[in-house]
Structure 1
C-alpha cells in the first residue's frame, strides 16, 4: 500500500449497522435485560447468602454500583469521542494500542459467548415448573433450550429496534414482579418488625465479604453494553451516557432493595440458612406464603422470560462484537456483513446461533448437567472475563486521554477512572483468591485455576494475532479500533514505519 492511499468501502460491510433506531429507553432495555434482574434476585442473591453466610449483600450491591459509576465517568467520556460496536475492544485499542485491543477482543468474545450460551443450560430448569403447571408436561431441558434458541436466532436477524420492543415488554413485567415480591416481603417481616441489620457497614468487614463483592459484581454484567449500541443510537453522545448511568443506578437500586427485603422476610440471622436449603426457590416460596399461588406462577413464568430476555440481549451484544472485528478485518471479512434490509449484523448473528446450537447438542448428547456445568460454570467464567475487561478499559481510558490530550476535566480523564481501577483490581484479586468458592468446587480442583487462567492465554493469542496482522496485513492492522471510519479512512505511515489511520492518534 502506498504511503497515502484510500481504502475502498465495501458496500455491504462497513458502516452498515442501522443508525438512529435506538433511543435512551431502548438501550436501557438491552442493558437491563442482559443484567437479568429477576434471575439475579432469585439466583445470584440467594447464592451469595448461601455461599458466604454474610448478610451484607445489599451493601455489596451499593458498593459495586458506586465503583461501576466511577468507572462509567471515564467510560462515557470516551464514548462521546469513540463510537464503535466493539466497545471494550475499541477503547483498549485506542488507549493501550492495537495488540492489547485485539487481546481484549478475544477475551470479550469468549466472555460474552460464554454468558450467552450458558443461559441455555438454565432455561430448561426455569421452564419446568411453568410447563408443569400449565400443560402438565416436563420436557427434557434441551427441548426447551432449542425452542429458546430458535426464537433468539430469528430475533437476532431482525431490526435492532424490534428486539428492543420485545425486551421492553419482558423487562417491564419482570421488574414489576420483583417490586411486588419486595412489597410482600416487607409487609411480612420475620419477628413482626423490619430489620435493618443487613444494611450495617460492619457486614462488609467480616470473613467472606470479599467473595460477596465478587458475587455482587457478577450481577451487574451487561451494564457496560450501552456503548455496543452507540452506532445504532439516535444521539450517541447523549444516549450512551444517560443509558449507562441510569442502568447502573436502576440495577444497584433493585438489587440492594430486593436483597434487603429478603433478609426482612426471613430474618437476618436465618437468610443464609434458608438460602442454602431452598436456593432459587426461596424467593418464590416467600411469595407463595405472602402473596399466594398466583404470584408464584407469575413469578416463575417471568423467571423463565428473564433468562430469555438475557439471551436476546447477550446475543445482540456478542454479534456486534463479532461484526466490529469482521468490519476491521481482524476476523474474516464475512463477519462484517450486515443485512441490507434490517441493518442487523447478519453473518455474525448466524455464527452466534450456530455456536449456541452446537453447545446445546454437545451437552444433550453427553448427558452433562446443564445447570451446574453449563449455566453456572460459564456464567462465573464469563462474568470474571467481563470484570477483567472493565478493569483493563478503565486503564485504557486514562491512557487515551493522556495520549490524545483532548479537552476533558481532570475528574473524567484521570481521577474517577483511577479510583475505579484501584477498586476493580482489588475485586479481581479477591475473586482469584475465592475462585473455588465462586465455582463451588474443592480448593484443589483443577477448575479453580483453569477457568481464570484461560483468560490471559486467550489474551496472548489475540495479541499474537495482532502482531501477525501488523507484519502480514498492515492494511487490516491499521483499521483496528477505528469502527465505521475504518472502511474509508486514509492510511499514512507513522514514525515507526507502521501504517496508521489519520486521526487515530499514536496507537501501536
Structure 2
C-alpha cells in the first residue's frame, strides 16, 4: 500500500541550507567560539577552584577531553551516514526511534536557547567597565545587550561563511591573549619552581570531584556543533571528523594549560583562597603583574568579545535546530524556509532573535540580576541539557550501529561509543547530584530540581508528540530525522511511503 502526502504539499525534505560554504577552519571557529575560551578560563575555572576547594581542575579537563574524544569517535562515524543540521535530534531518531528523537529535539531547543539567551545577561557586566574606562559612560546592561542582540540578529540571516570570518578574528585574538597570560604565569612561578601537584590524581579524586567533572564538561559545550554544520561544509565527512577532533583536543589542552598556569603563579596551596577572593578577576590580576596593564585592558575587551562570539555561534546552532524540525514538519513548516540570497535558515533565525529580545525585555522590566539570574543560571541549566543530549546521543550511536554496522570497524561503532556511554552516564549522575553546587544555590532550592524535571518533561512531551505524528500524520513521521539528503527510510512493514515524488519507506 502506498500513502501520499496531502495534495499541494511539497516534500518536507527538499529545503536545504547553502552547501559547500565551510571548511575545517571555519567549523573549528564556530565550535570553539561556542566554547567561549576566555569566559571559561576567567569564570568557570576560577569558580571551580572557589566552590569545590579542589585543585585538580587541570587534570579534570584532560580526563573529560579524553571521554569526549571517545564519544566523538562514534559521533563523527555516524555523521558519515546521517547528515542533518539537527544533529542530536536526528541521531537519536535514527538510533532510538523517531518519537524519542522528537523528545531529544525538544530538550535541545530548551538547552540551546538557554545557552544563547543567557549570554545576553553577561555582555553588559563584561562591557560596562570598558565603556566607563574609555568613554566615561555606564549604560544599563540591557542597552548593551540590545546592541549585541542587533548584531547577532543581523549576522544570523547572512551567509554562514560571513559569520565564520567574524568568529575567526574574535577567536584567534582571544586564544592569543590567553596564551600570553599563560606564558606570563608560567614564567613567574610561586616559590620559583613549576609545581606539577595539580596534575596528580590525588588533587582531583576527593569529595567534590563530581562538581569539578561536571564543570569541566560544561567548559566543552559547543564542541558537538561541528555536525550541525555538516550540510554547509565542504566534504562534510572529512570536515566534520577533523573539526570535531581538533576542537576537543584544542579545548582540552588550552583549558588544562590555563588552569595549571593559574596554580603555578599563585602556588597550589593558595589557589583556592585566591580564587575565592578575586573571582573572575584572578587571571587579569595575574596578568597585570606578569605582562603589564595594556595587555590586561586588551584581555578585558576580548572577554566581552568572547561572549559576543558565543552569542553568534549559539544563535546559528539553535536556528539550525529549529530549521531542521521545521523542514521535517515536526515544528511549523515556516521554520524550514531558507533565504534565497544567503542560504541561511531565515525564519528560524528571526524566531531565535525574537526569543532573545523577549528575554532581554523581561529581565530589564523586572529588574532581575542579569549576571546571576540570566547568565549563570541559564548557562548552567543549558549546559546540563546538552550533557543529557550528548549522553542520549552516545546511546543512540551504539543502537544505530548494532542494527546497521555499515562495515565500520568495531572500535568505531561499538567499543569507543560504549565506553563513552558508560562514562557519560556516570558524569550525568554526578552532575545532577551536584547541581545545587553548580548553580550556586542551597540544597532544596527550586532550581536544583526544577531544571532536571523540566528537561524530563520536555523529553516526555516531545516523545508523545512524536507518537501523535505517527498516528495522525504518517507522511511527516516517516521523514523524522532524515534531513535534506534522505531518499529512503526503513519501515516496519517493508512498504514504501511516497512523498512528492520521493520513495520513502516507513
| Cα separation, partners in 2 of 1:175 and 1:500, compared to 1, 3 Å | farther
Q: Distance in 2 between matches of 1:493 and 1:457?
A: 28
Q: How does 1:375-386 map to 2 (within 5 A)?
A: 375-386=375-386
Give the alignment's TM-score, normalised by structure 1. 0.96
Identify the residue that residue 110 of structure 2 maps to in structure 1.
110
CA–CA distance in 1 between the matches of 2:388 and 2:168? 29
Q: Secondary structure at the match of 2:478?
A: helix
CA drift at 1:463: 0.4
8 A contact 1:12–1:338 mirrored in 2 = no
User: How big is the shift at 1:12?
Assistant: 11
Matched, 1:280 2:292: no
SS at match of 2:207: coil
Q: Distance in 1 between matches of 2:494 and 2:368?
A: 52
Residues 150 and 268 from structure 1, CA distance in 2 versus in 1: closer, same or farther, beyond 3 angstroms? same
User: What is the CA–CA distance in structure 2 between the aligned matches of 1:493 and 1:244, rounded to whole Å?
Assistant: 32
Gaps of 5+ in 1: none
Q: Where does residue 353 of structure 1 map in the other structure?
A: 353
Other-structure match for 1:22: 22
Give the corresponding residue for 1:201.
201
Q: Name the counterpart of 1:98.
A: 98
Report whether the alignment pairs 1:422 with 2:442: no
Structure 2 match to 1:236? 236
Q: Which residue does 1:57 correspond to in 2?
A: 57
Check if 1:82 corresponds to 2:82: yes
The answer for the alignment partner of 1:255 in structure 2 is 255
Cα deviations by residue, 1:316-350 (Å, 9 ceiling, x for unpaired): 00000000000000000000000000000000000
Alpha-carbon distance in structure 1 between the residues aligned to 2:285 and 2:354: 37
Instruction: Map residues 99-498 of structure 1 onto 2, 5 A cutoff.
Output: 99-485=99-485, 489=487, 494-495=492-493
> 1:491 & 1:65 partners in 2: Cα distance?
34
Deviates more, 1:202-211 or 1:21-30: 202-211
Q: For the residues of structure 1 that align with 2:149 and 2:455, how far apart are their CA atoms? A: 27
Cα drift, residue 144 of structure 1? 0.5
Pair 1:406–1:311, CA change in 2 (3 A): same
Q: Is the 2:494–2:505 Cα contact (8 Å) retained in structure 1?
A: no
Compared with structure 1, are the counterparts of its residues 5 and 455 closer, same or farther at alpha carbon in structure 2 (3 Å cutoff)?
closer
1:215, distance to aligned residue in structure 2 (A) = 0.4
| 1:386-413 deviation digits (Å, cap 9, x = unpaired) | 0000010001001111112311111111
Select between 316-325 and 495-504 the one with higher mean Cα deviation: 495-504
Determine helix, strand or coil for the equivalent of 2:484: helix
CA change 1:498–1:374 in 2 (3 A) is: farther
- Measured in 1, the distance between the counterparts of 2:103 and 2:11 equals 28
Determine the C-alpha separation between the residues in 1 that align with 2:503 and 2:47: 48
SS where residue 335 of structure 2 aligns? helix
1:333, 1:450 → 2: CA distance? Answer: 31
Q: Distance in 1 between matches of 2:83 and 2:247?
A: 19
SS at match of 1:484: coil
* Per-residue deviation, 1:116: 0.2
Specify the SS of the correspondent of 1:138. coil
Separation in 2 of the partners of 1:443 and 1:184? 39
Q: Are the aligned partners of 1:6 and 1:490 in contact in 2 as well (CA < 8 Å)? A: no
* CA-CA distance at 1:292 after TM superposition: 1.5
**Does structure 1 conserve the Cα–Cα contact (< 8 Å) formed by 2:46 and 2:275?**
yes
Distance across 2 between alignment mates of 1:219 and 1:410 = 30
Cα distance 1:268–1:493, how it changes in 2: closer, same or farther (>3 A)? Answer: closer
Cα deviation, residue 134, structure 1: 1.2
Q: Deviations over 1:426-484 (max 9, x none)?
A: 00111111111111111121211111111110000100111111111111111100100
For the structure 1 residues 6 and 138, does the alpha-carbon distance in structure 2 shift closer, same or farther, using more than 3 Å as the test?
Answer: same
Aligned length: 504
Q: In 2, Cα distance between the equivalents of 1:313 and 1:429?
A: 28
Distance 1:334 1:245, change over 3 A: same
Task: Give matches, 1:26-37, under 5 Å.
Answer: 26-37=26-37
Tell me, what secondary structure is at the counterpart of 1:479?
A: coil
Alignment check: 8 A CA contact 2:5 2:498 kept: no
Q: Quick one: distance in 2 between partners of 1:412 and 1:16?
A: 29
Q: What's the CA shift for 1:202?
A: 1.2
1:268-301 C-alpha deviation (Å, 9 max, x unpaired): 1111111111111111111111111101100000
Contact 2:5–2:475 at 8 Å: present in 1 too? no
**Contact 2:12/2:329, CA 8 A, preserved across alignment:** no
Deviates most, 204-213 or 234-243: 204-213
